[in-house]
Chains A and B, each alone.
Chain A
Amino acid sequence: MSTALNDRDAILQASSVRIINPKNASILLNASSSLFHTNAAGDVDVPTITIGATLIGLEGDVTFTAEGAALTSVTGKSAVVRYADMQGPAAIVTARIAAGGQTFSQSSIIAVVRDGAPGNGTPGARGPGQHYAFGDAWSDGVADAATPGGNVINDVVTISNGGRWAMTKRWDGATWQAIGGIFDGSLFVTGSIDGAAIRAGTLDIYAPDGTVILRASKPLAEQVKSAPNLAASFPEWRRYGTAWIHDSSGERATDGFHMVFPRNPGGYNAFEWTIPNVRDGDWVTVSFTASSDNPNGGRLHANLYDGGRLDTAGRRDQVVPYEPKRFTFTEQVVSGASVRVWASTPDVQILVWDLKVSLGKADTPYSNDFISPSNVTRRVMPGSIGNTQIGGDIYSTNWNGGVGPFGTGWLLQRGGTFYCGNVQLRGSIAGGYFTKYEWPVAGQAGFYLGGEGLLMGNYHDGRYTQIGNNGDIYTPNFSSVGREVKVTGEISGSVIRTSVLALESARLLTPWNRLAPFSLFDSGSVYNPRVANATVTLDGFVGPAQGGESTFHAKRFGSFRKDVFLKATMHGDETWENLYIEARYHDASQGWGNLASGSVFCEGRAGISVVIRYTPHDGGWDYIAFRARTTQGKCLSLVFEMQTFNFNESVNAPGSSSGMPTGDSGGGGVGNNPEPWCVDYETTRLPDGRFARDVKINDLMECWDFNLENPGVEYAPANKVAFGEEASSMLVTRTGVQIIQSNSTPMTVRDGRVVLTPGMLGEEVVVKRGNDLVWEPITQTFDMGVRRVVKISLHDRMYFAGMDPKATIATHNLEYKP
């Protein structure tokens, strides 16, 4: 249900007035100004006045009229009067509306008021003001001259020389008084002070915690430190006992200069230094680095001395052996301050360096903590670098610029490229969009190599390589998973070496998409202890289990017809024996049919042979069995051999062993018959519009490339053209594509079988429509009687022809004809 109300009820319900009552109805007018005003010069300060109408107890729009002025921008609720449209000193604007049978109206008067000419009174005295003069020093005379008409109390004069000096004074009625004062810092907005220079030679700037930000007495180099090190160089420190300085060259805190508190001191060992210029109440922070040479470490003390005494208990800490440790303490000065450092463990030598004394409560970084050329000439102490950024490349001292096998050292370029010799990782490496052993989303590529395996490219994009840590390999066209290898496309090579090779493909193709010439053999024999009849049966070649005949072996490689060579050889009595070669087809109930027979004199060895052409039933998987038998009881042994060649689609030319009719009996092939297959003379056209009858030898014709899965077109020359008359039929596909061709024309259909024209109903053929090739079934056939035909041969190709050049059928068959 919608909550929307229909427009009519919505209008009514939104209305404040549903019924007009004249007693309570009226119009209220309001004007944005009650009058127009002009000054003495005649300029108007209110150029327009808008008059609005408010309806009381009425609904709708009013009509505006005016007397003494013209109206503009008139709407149902307002109108505008412009000063320029006033026709006199006043105008009357009236609004009217009719409702409930009456007319309601209301008027408003707009007037014009004009200022008169200026008066003639005496101007008053000048008040105080801000005045300026030029000069290099203050001069009362210059200041007096700067005030017009004599000085007035609270006049202010500034004398300046153009930016290098200035002074401002106020006139108090008798003298010029300097103006001074303190500016509350909160008055300054951050970033608001902008000047060429501040001249204040004694100005120190402190942070609220006492840290010196800028000290006037220090050289500029000190100012860049957040808290300058006040500590004097080590030789300036007072020494007590046997404490000594490792190097006295005058450096105060760089590596190699140490306070040394030796082993087994004879007495109190200490260094002390009085902090200059320190004020009572200042905070002082002392920090230094120390280490010991004893496995047990040692104890080190440090503290501030105020007026020769310890103001607090000693600050002490354990020094870690062989591992530099940073000490820090902060105290507030009471009455002057000295820094004293001493050791209290007698059998340990303690070194102290990088000592820093700074003002302030915080232990701000000591400048020598930062790496500079002067302090890293020997080494960078472990842990010295917390975080850093490198502005350029870094490389080892032996980097020789070589990236090949002769390169030495390493280079880490700022751009992110790293050259080195060997890399050993505990984890994984990844590039591009990869972060783990997982494909990123489509469109993102890269690689990952880790313990789980290798990923490259992106599976979602179809371009990828995956090698698992179990050895499984996946690529778009190749995979090796477990014990199964899958390849899409061709396998190149000359030898497949295996103990067992199971081929499940229905068609094995050589180049040019021809069937590979496989051969099948079978044989059997019988030995009789005495002369008798013998029968040897061979199951022949059979397809996969079909119906109940699952006991037969799968020996066929395709559903094409076969040429079968059968040979029976017997040995027997020294008389005549009848030898039969027979076949039993799929339907066992049909019994055995004779293929060949003969009467042989079997004193020694004798036999017969036969070649038959066998086409599986209805194109499906089928079987056939063969047997040889004798009938005269003279047989001692009978050997029966079968050999079949899958030559039908091979590169062998017609007339090879399988194509030749042989023997003196049974089912032989058709051999090299003249080519009867042909298309209709009157109606047949080619895709290029020519009539088939106009084709000349060596003319190129569009042919099917015999790609069953993805049909294509190839061109081939006609090698023979002849004419004749034959019984013909019309074939019509599902979409109405038509061709008339001889009944003798064989056609290769979608599953590879070859079918003669009369049997084409329901079979699928290749139809060419424009550039598209599709499979379509033949849905109608019509007997056309004997017609004149064109016999075109392209050897083993099927060419496109039909009654309409826009839609043609691949006709004629491949190399082998039934």
Chain B
Amino acid sequence: MNDAQFLAWLKSSAAYRVVLIEAAVQIGGVESVVYLATKPFTTGPGDAPANTTYPPIATVGRLFTERLLLDGEGGLSTGELEIENVGGARDAWAGPGHVWKNRADRAYIGDVRWPRAEYRQIFDGVAADLVPSGRQALSLKLRDKLQRLNTPISEVKLGGTTEQRDALLPVAMGQAFNVTPLLVNAAILKYQVHAGTIHSIIEVRDNGAPVAFTADLAAGTFQLHAAPAGVVTASVRGAAAGGYVDTAAQLVKRLVTGYGKIADRFTEDDLDRNSFAAFDAAHPQSMGLYSKERLNVLEACRMLLSSLGAQMVMSRLGKLRLVKVALPGIGAPVSIRPEHMVEGTLQPTARTDVVGAVKLGFAKCWTVQDAGTLANLPEVHKALFAEEWLSTTKTDQSTLATYRLNAEPVQVDTMLLTRADADAEAQRRLDLWKVPRTTYEFEGVPELLSLELGQAVTVYSPRFGMDAGVTGIVISLAPDWETGRVTVGFLV
């Protein structure tokens, strides 16, 4: 079945839609799968799974809402599935013998008359939990697959017998300035900046003054040639196993596939390769981060992507995509006309605050040092170690005057490394938000189920000044698989 046939089916009044749910669960210590559906459905002997009954005990409305957050921070999307529990028939499902948390949940849609292979996947995520919903129902709380990244980057500790035995081995990704290495062997003055191969050590310092050292790049360590007088720091180009990378897309890819709990790590198949490639090509800025503490993979990715106003989203097929809130959106705009909207459903939902100035922090100093400890350094150098962030501010005087705004905005910190990149990003944000933006929402026809977050759209309507069409970006999608309609949110 091709896309056109599937769309025709979605539009057809003769369709008997059914949503199949396959929820992984641990029952009595044994990993298993529970099959549910919104209408009775049983697979045939040639299907996979074969001869399996999906009891019609699930209620699915707007199973899941995909959403882009305008603050660029990103986050987890949530959904919910109601399971019939009349008379307590499935009370055990909510009991301690059933563990649903962090198990895979998948949903598919099709016609009750179709073979199982013809069904299309509409959700690929994990369960947050299954909880009772009153006396007659259970509620399966859903999260997108990003939940799997909600784990520490590394839990590997130094070990041994030293007092630092409980210290986490540091992780250095991309470029990091003035990090505090972990002293791994005081007897030989050996320090570690990354738990693995690194690209290079730019410089090692003792109280800010460069000192001689010998690097072991394969081990991510270095040894000082002489005992230090003060605080030992270093600037590094970090993780290089598989090749050194320092762009946001490459670092995120490296983080989600190579860090965190092994069982929860993404594979290449979990990534939307086209999205990553396009994002990487459009965003060559160098970045870096360093962690000696319990940094979360999700948070690390957010730090990198939010530096560019981008965020991670999961597609309905469970593919990780990188999307940026920007105008225009991704790709050629899709024309949406009144015939694509349910009459009277188009309405504004929010309006953004106008911004007249943007201040970004960049080139993070990972170890801030008191200027008083930096004797014999040129004065101009002391500030480089004493300030955590360099900053840049972009202002639009016309906007400030028009809206009577404050010219000194709150600084937003980024993982960008150079003033040129920070200037460009600040200007981009200023250009985007210096005019009031409005978000709208409408209920769309089945053709619009193919929209994706971040996609460019041109919307025509006799209302809201859209007669000649306005170009925007899709920021939310809430498909209703029972009706074939989708609630579309967009920003213009």
Alpha-carbon distance between A776 and B177 when the two chains are bound, in angstroms:
61
With contact pairs A7-B363, A59-B380 given, residues A1 and B245 touching in the complex (Cβ less than 8 Å)? yes
Q: B162 interface residue, CB < 8 Å from A?
A: no
Partner-contacting stretch, out of B9-17, B21-29, B317-325, B425-433: B9-17
Q: Any chain A CB within 8 A of the CB of B175?
A: yes
Q: Decide: B178 and A18 in contact? CB cutoff 8 A.
A: no
Q: Is the CB of A777 within 8 A of B246?
A: no
Query: CB distance A59 to B419 under 8 Å?
Result: no
Residue among B203, B284, B340, B380 facing the most chain A CB atoms (10 A cut-off): B380
Contacts of A18 in B (CB 8 A): 209-210, 377-378, 381
A738's closest neighbor in chain B, by CB? B343
Residue B18 is within 8 A (CB to CB) of chain A in the complex: no
* Cβ contact within 8 Å between B343 and A737: yes
A98/B379 in contact, CB under 8 A = yes
A539: CB under 8 A from chain B? no
Which chain B positions have C-beta within 8 A of A11?
380-381, 384
Q: Is the CB of A777 within 8 A of B210?
A: no
Known: A18-B210, A19-B376. A8 touches B246 (CB 8 A): no
Contacts of A13 in B (CB 8 A): 202-203
Contacts of A738 in B (CB 8 A): 343
For chain B, the bracket of interface size reads: 35 or more
Cβ-defined contact, B13 with A762, below 8 A: yes
Measured between beta carbons, the chain B residues less than 8 angstroms from A5 are: 175, 202, 417
Min CB–CB distance B450 → chain A (angstroms)? 16
- Hey, what's the 0/1 contact readout for A443-463 against B, CB within 8 Å counting as 1? 000000000000000000000
Cα–Cα distance between A537 and B178 once the two chains are bound (Å): 99
Bound form: Cα–Cα A220–B337 in Å = 87
A101 within 8 A of B: yes
| Nearest A residue to B444, CB-CB | A735
Q: Does B244 lie at the interface of the complex (its beta carbon under 8 Å from any beta carbon of A)?
A: yes
The reply to whether A60 and B379 form a contact with Cβ atoms under 8 Å apart is: yes
Q: Is A769 part of the binding interface, using a Cβ–Cβ cutoff of 8 Å? A: yes
Q: Given A2-B247, A100-B375, A777-B11 in contact, is the A7-B380 Cβ separation under 8 Å?
A: no
Residues 365-398 of B at the A interface (beta carbon under 8 Å): 365, 375-381, 384, 390
Q: Are B13 and A779 interface neighbours, CB within 8 A? A: yes
Answer yes or no: B418 CB below 8 A from chain A CBs.
yes
CA separation between A807 and B13, bound complex, in Å? 22
Q: Is the interface of A mostly helix, strand, loop or mixed?
A: loop
Cβ-defined contact, B445 with A9, below 8 A: no
Taken together as a complex, chains A and B put the C-alpha atoms of A186 and B210 apart, in Å, by 69
B246 partner, pick from A1, A101, A806, beta carbons under 8 A: A1
Chain A stretch 17-40: residues in CB contact (< 8 A) with chain B: 17-21
**Residues of A516-567 whose CB lies within 8 A of B:** none
**Which residues in window 323-354 of B have CB below 8 A to A?**
337-345
**Contact assessment for B244 and A1 in the assembled complex, using a CB-CB cutoff below 8 Å:** yes
Say whether A181 faces chain B, with CB atoms less than 8 Å apart.
Answer: no
* Smallest Cβ-Cβ distance to B362: which chain A residue: A7
Cross-chain contact B377 with A20 (CB below 8 angstroms): yes
Which residue of chain A is the closest to B385 with respect to CB atoms?
Answer: A8
A59–B288 alpha-carbon span in the complex (Å)? 28
B417 in contact with A4 (CB, 8 Å): yes
Closest to A775 in B: B339
Given A2-B246, A2-B247, A60-B380: A8 touches B177 (CB 8 Å cut-off): yes
Is B380 a contact partner of A6 (Cβ separation < 8 A)?
no
Q: How far is the CA of A761 from the CA of B15 in the complex (A)?
A: 13
26 contacts between A and B (CB under 8 A): A2-B286, A5-B175, A6-B286, A6-B363, A7-B390, A7-B419, A8-B363, A9-B175, A12-B384, A18-B209, A20-B376, A21-B376, A59-B379, A98-B379, A101-B375, A734-B339, A735-B338, A735-B339, A735-B340, A735-B341, A737-B343, A738-B343, A769-B338, A777-B13, A778-B13, A807-B343
Q: Other CB < 8 Å A-B pairs besides A6-B286, A8-B365, 7 of them?
A: A1-B246, A8-B235, A12-B210, A18-B377, A21-B376, A100-B376, A735-B445
Instruction: List the interface of chain B (C-beta within 8 A of A).
Output: 11-14, 175, 177-178, 199, 202-203, 209-210, 235, 243-247, 284-286, 288, 337-345, 362-363, 365, 375-381, 384, 390, 417-419, 445, 462
Going nearest first, the 3 A-B pairs with the smallest beta carbon separation are A59-B378, A736-B343, A6-B417
